Structure 1
Amino acid sequence: MKPPPTFSSSSSTSILIRKARLSPFLFTLFAFVVFVTILYGQDLGCILYGQFDLDIITDHPPPSPKKHYKKLPFTISERENGCDIFSGKWVWDPLNRPLYQESECPYIQPQLTCQEHGRPDRDYQFWRWQPNGCSLPSFNASLMLETLRNKKMMFVGDSLNRGQFVSMVCLLHSLIPENAKSMKTVGSLSVFTMKDYNATIEFYWAPFLLESNADDAVIHRISDRVVRRGSINKHGKHWKGVDIMVFNTYLWWMTGLEMKVSQDSSDGELKDIVEMSTEDAYRMGLKSMLRWAKKNMNPKKTRLFFTSMSPSHQKSQDWGAESGGNCYNQTEMIADPNYWGTDCRKSIMGVIGDVFSKSKFPISFLNITQLSSYRKDAHTSIYKKQWNPLTPEQIANPASYADCVHYCLPGLQDTWNELLFAKLFYP
């Protein structure tokens, strides 16, 4: 963005010489414009360039935009056809990572505080994602806060999306005075309030997005999972009025080859239960999400994001190691750039691609799957709060209770938010 114009004494003199040629009204109007430009030049520049205006950076901007509206090129492409920020490699960067310290962010749940729970290494904190052919913008906390002024940002989904929500809070909270911020959780909803900005960042627990028998935010470890078709409004009524929405849903659908689905009903009971393939049930959930967005979100004023599935590292043979292991004691990432894993991710990614390609509502896809697949070193493993006492058998075999789904903070999920930041400001 060019700096605001400056006005020298010679230019002011020229203006005065031409004063006699202007009518009193026009001269007064012209003088007022000059005064405002000098006084608020920098702020006016931000407004003209749409730096904080979500209307300007939607995936589908309004037709025939005015020439003075420009999207700031935060992602600097080195190729004519742009850059895929989700394709790249991990780079060791101890000078600039981590983006915050675990001990300095009081909002991280004890399930994610790996250093506090005895993890002996910190190498997982020092990796930075480097796209091929371009550079990610540095996360600008001040810009993000200004963007959120008078707005609501919400993460909706499962515990992995909760981790991304907490990461975003940790990336921002240090710029906010202690007496001007707060975190409150009631039931499924957690709200981080930024008083000076009249803004909130929120998380809503809905692992399927649709209503299910796993909707209790605390007691939800249910093996026989059932979702209700057409029931997204049960949760959706709590999402209205959101300016930036970040959905995810994946992990809880992976119960096996089939998923139990009940018909929608008014009496609140799960009945007429049928079994659907995982792919068909997941497709149903995504379509419901997009229908809700089309009905309740304005694409000219709001942004919708969807974070793709996060991989687990439960089987060491997947990356060519001896069988019987998992993410436990893993301090290095997977080196094979073509590694993908052996689960059903490809078929689910195919469902996402098919559903989103037919969507008439603009949605930004955060494809974190491949870049996260390399990071078997980033999981919480055994270094977290254990909700249940460990048995002697578990203590003797730590890999048996290692968490190879969730991630330490700071860590990998901060990169997810860097990608969100990049797509928010340069879609």
Structure 2
Amino acid sequence: MRHEAELARSCTKLSLHEAVHNILYRHEEDIIKQENGCNLFQGSWVFDNTYPLYDASNCPFVSSDWNCHARPDKDYLKYKWKPDGCDLPSFNGADFLQRCRGKKIMFVGDSLSNNQWQSLTCMLHTAVPNSKYTSSKRGQLSTFSLPEYGISIMPFTTHFFVDLVTENVGRVLKLDSISAGNQWLGVDILIFNSYHWWLHEGKLQPWDYIQVGDTLSKDMDRMAAYKIGLTTWAKWVDSNINPLKTRVFFQGISATHYHGIDWNQPKVNNCRGQTKPIDGSNYPGNHYPGEAVLKSVLGSVKKPVSLLDIALLTQLRKDGHPSQYSGTGFVCSHWCLAGVPDSWNQLLYTILTQK
């Protein structure tokens, strides 16, 4: 019993030193590293015949948008993320469940949070296929539970964290207001994500006005809006999170592949027909403008927040999207399952199990 208690603590609890001094994330150069100084997020994709980590056709939680079963090529399933200076530990679902026994894990964000949630549920279900599970949905919240382990894993759908409300003038995005935060309380591990929806324009733009304080605007610089919204979220974290009880992660910015010029293939329009990752550890295109904004805000948070810096590893995977094999149209922003999001959960597992 003592051993299990120690494992459970390691899933969620920071040491008092970490909580007081906020060592998990401060500056870009101090990004999460293993004890040997290895940067977990700088690396390349290597072919591995032991992959994938699960068979999506045997996982009842994968949506038709992401199972990619109709793709004629299968090599995209066979790549694993390899940091330049070390090897990631293999994902051990049984160990994860023991460490996180009795815990609640919540992914808070848009469909990419759901992408990661579905990946994790498949990885755990594959590890304990005979363990009974329950699955339910209520409003913005879905819940996958394994009663044998007392663990619940939930995606909470929100595109911005801050409030998007309908008023007399229309749909208003309120950059300095969060009303959903009460539903994030009492959770042991929170993994936040927000970026793509801040960039939508035209018919895909979900607001009519942006509000800051008492000022309404038809629009504003999107990165300025993103920074204000993230700063509101950061204040919520500082006001509501006890780091001795809750661990907080930010998923980072996931790449899209709609313009081949970004990876030095100017004649390629999108991810259609891409069957291999980009070789090596360098992406020829630019950083996303949101990366600097996100890291700036995370550097100002007083409470510990761990960044899963998935930008580079997703930029290198132009082959990992459903493309025309999505159940809801052509997609180069979400990811096939099994596939790239499995590496995000392997990184999550690695960080949770670090001493």
TM-score, normalising length: structure 2: 0.86
| 1:243 corresponds to which of 169, 184, 188 | 188
Higher-Rg member (1/2): 1
Instruction: State the match for 1:36 in structure 2.
Output: none
**Residue 351 to residue 324, structure 1, CA distance change in 2 (3 Å):** same
Alignment of structure 1 residues 190-201 onto 2, 5 Å: 190-201=142-153
| Cα separation, 1, equivalents of 2:294 and 2:135 | 33
SS in 2 for 1:289: helix
**Aligned partner letter, 1:232:** I
Q: CA deviation at 1:336?
A: 5.7
In the TM superposition, what whole-angstrom CA distance separates every residue of 1:52-90 from its partner, at most 9, and x where no partner exists?
Answer: 463246881568xxxxxxxxxxx865x5xx111001111
- State the aligned residue count: 337
Q: For 1:416 and 1:61, locate their aligned partners in 2 and report how far apart those are by CA, in whole Å.
A: 24
Residue 210 (structure 2) aligns with: 261
1:58–1:303 Cα contact (<8 Å) kept: no
What is aligned with 2:77?
125
Which of 287, 293, 296 is the equivalent residue of 1:351? 293
- Ranked by relative contact order (alpha carbons within 8 Å, sequence separation 6 or more), the top structure is 2
Measured in 2, the distance between the counterparts of 1:316 and 1:182 equals 42
Q: Match for 1:383: what amino acid?
A: Y
* CA distance 1:413–1:50, shift in 2 (3 Å): closer
TM-aligned CA deviation for residue 198 of structure 1: 2.0
- SS of the counterpart of 1:173? helix
SS of 1:381's partner is coil
SS in 2 for 1:237: helix
Q: Letter of the aligned partner of 1:83 in structure 2?
A: C
- Say whether the 8 Å CA contact 2:131–2:146 is kept in structure 1: no
Conserved in 1, the CA contact under 8 Å of 2:4 and 2:99? no
The alpha carbon displacement at 1:45 in A equals 5.2
CA–CA distance in 2 between the matches of 1:45 and 1:286? 39
CA RMSD of aligned residues (A): 2.8
Could you tell me which runs of 5 or more consecutive residues in structure 2 were left unpaired when the two chains were aligned.
Answer: 22-32
Deviations 1:329-376 (A, max 9, x none): 11011226332534xx44211111211112111000000001110100
Conserved 8 A contact 2:92-2:127: no
Q: Would the aligned equivalents of 2:253 and 2:311 in 1 still touch at CA under 8 Å? A: yes
Identity of aligned residues (%): 35
Q: 1:169 aligns with which of 83, 105, 121?
A: 121
State the alpha-carbon separation in 2 of the partners of residues 282 and 375 from structure 1: 25
Q: Is the Cα–Cα contact under 8 Å of residues 163 and 173 in structure 2 kept in the other structure? A: yes
Give 1:23's aligned residue. Answer: none
Candidates 308, 317, 320, aligned match of 1:366: 308
Distance in structure 2 (CA, Å) of the matches to 1:277 and 1:111: 31
Note if contact 2:7-2:98 (Cα within 8 Å) is conserved in structure 1. Answer: no
Structure 1: stretches of 5+ with no match in the other structure? 1-42, 64-74, 215-223, 266-270, 387-400
Three-state SS of the structure 1 residue aligned to 2:304 is coil
In the alignment, is the contact (CA less than 8 A) between 2:259 and 2:266 conserved in 1? no
Distance 1:160 1:53, change over 3 A: closer
